Homo-oligomer: A and B are copies of this chain.
Amino acid sequence: MLYTDLEDILGKVRASLEMEDVAGAVAAIEALRAPDQADLFHELEDEHQTALLPRLDPEDSADILEELEDEDAARIVATLTREEAVRIIDEMEPDEAADLIGELEPEHQEYVLAKLEDQAEVRPLLLHPEDTAGGVMTSEFLALGRRMSVADALAALRTWKPDAEDIHEVYAVDRFGRLVGMIGMRQLLMQQPELILNDVIDPETVFVSVAADQEEAARLMSRYDLASLPVIDTQGVLVGVITVDDVIDVLEEEATEDFQRFGGGEPLDRPYLESGVLTVVRKRVGWLLLLFITETLTGSVLRHFEEQMAAVVSLAFFIPLLIGTGGNAGSQTTSTIIRALAVEDLDKRGLLRPLLHELMVGVVLGTILAVVAYGRAILWGTGEAVALTVAVAIFAIVIWANVLGSVLPILASRLKIDPTVVSGPAMSTLVDATGLFIYFTVAGIILAI
């Protein structure tokens, strides 16, 4: 990978800056690719960032701001003169510029917008919530009239100079600006120059509505292998395009959120090391307390069965083992189900198939663990009756955990709750209290206490 040499270059840039050799630092940075420039830049002291940014080529500065987190970029922009800020933001892709401007102070925002060359492209993008298709689309696309000839379309392509490099589709619109189809650049190049666009475009274009969730846009692009996805408003008018690089970011972001939620915390929104201690605490403490309160049920169950515990003390030794194993089985199940829902291998409408599936898996796993647990209990010198109790209880608990782990995420999903609320920790906690209840009920029957 290319970016592991960054530390060396960072050292050189720092040394140049110490010796007030800004030109040397600029040269070292401009030799890098944008994401590497941004990573390196991010490591520099604040005053160095402010000194360097206006000295770089505005296109490079724009690339760096695009790669940084929006809040960091806004913080740096606030330290520049307004003229410098406008000059750099004008080189940014409109969707990235809109995200950045959204983070600026209101009066700074208005000033920058008013002076921006591209303001007609940027302003409409400010209207859409960040996590919708409108929030991730760019207004930089080529829409041509459906009656235009292929030759004229190619000529338009030649003179078009977008800030982004990787746009490879041409969209055809009717006289109201409504999307009627699209054609890839290579296909366009292969057509007879005198044909009109309307006859060469693919009219079955996949599109998404501007208000749709960004995840829906990402799923469509991933499913249909699209390099770009047109975005339309309620009238069918083409208002933007989502490019595949933004979609990869969306998919990674959603996977990160699912992962963190599944671990039992709220998503951090920002890269880990940039999330302060109190932010991390705030994202975790709610769930931790809620689970703690739920977990106190275990105390109530144990009090309820106090006599049984006192009668057969060795029952207590198996408590963490039984409920821990139940939690593990539940966590295995729920992680599989949650991910299957996220990638649409499972449909939230079908409950029965996954339930039966996990029931059977639970029976097999429960049987295996029951045999092992019985053997282990006998080896520990536990009496046969208690060993049998442990074996039967673990069989029942594993099945119970698998059923809960399959049903709960699907039910959550049906209730339009994110299924990751049934996280691993939530599963363990639910299985702890109910598992104890199962254990002592089995003990009551087998040991007749």
Q: Residue A448 at the B interface, CB < 8 A? A: no
Given A272-B336, A335-B259, are A1 and B220 neighbors across the interface (CB < 8 Å)?
A: yes
Point out the residues of chain B lying under 8 angstroms from A79, CB to CB: none
Number of copies: 2
Q: Which A residues from 52 to 79 make CB contacts under 8 A with B?
A: none
User: Are the CB atoms of A357 and B277 closer together than 8 Å?
Assistant: yes
Interface size on A, residues (CB 8 A): 117
Q: Which A residues from 391 to 411 make CB contacts under 8 A with B?
A: none
Q: Could you tell me which A residues sit within 8 Å of B by CB distance?
A: 1-3, 33-35, 154, 157-158, 165-168, 184-187, 189-190, 204, 206, 216, 219-225, 227, 244-245, 247-249, 251-252, 255-256, 258-260, 262-265, 268, 271-273, 277-278, 280-281, 284-285, 287-289, 291-292, 295-296, 298-299, 302-303, 306, 309-310, 313, 316-321, 323-325, 327-329, 331-340, 343, 345-346, 353-354, 357, 360-361, 364-365, 368-369, 372-373, 376, 380, 423-425, 428-429, 432-433, 436
User: Are the CB atoms of A354 and B272 closer together than 8 Å?
Assistant: yes
Given A365-B285, A373-B292, are A225 and B320 neighbors across the interface (CB < 8 Å)?
A: no
User: Are the CB atoms of A264 and B331 closer together than 8 Å?
Assistant: yes
Given A220-B1, A299-B380, A334-B263, are A325 and B291 neighbors across the interface (CB < 8 Å)?
A: yes
A331 vs B427: C-alpha distance when bound (angstroms): 12
A343 vs B176: C-alpha distance when bound (angstroms): 43
Point out the residues of chain B lying under 8 angstroms from A259, CB to CB: 255, 258-259, 262, 335, 338-339
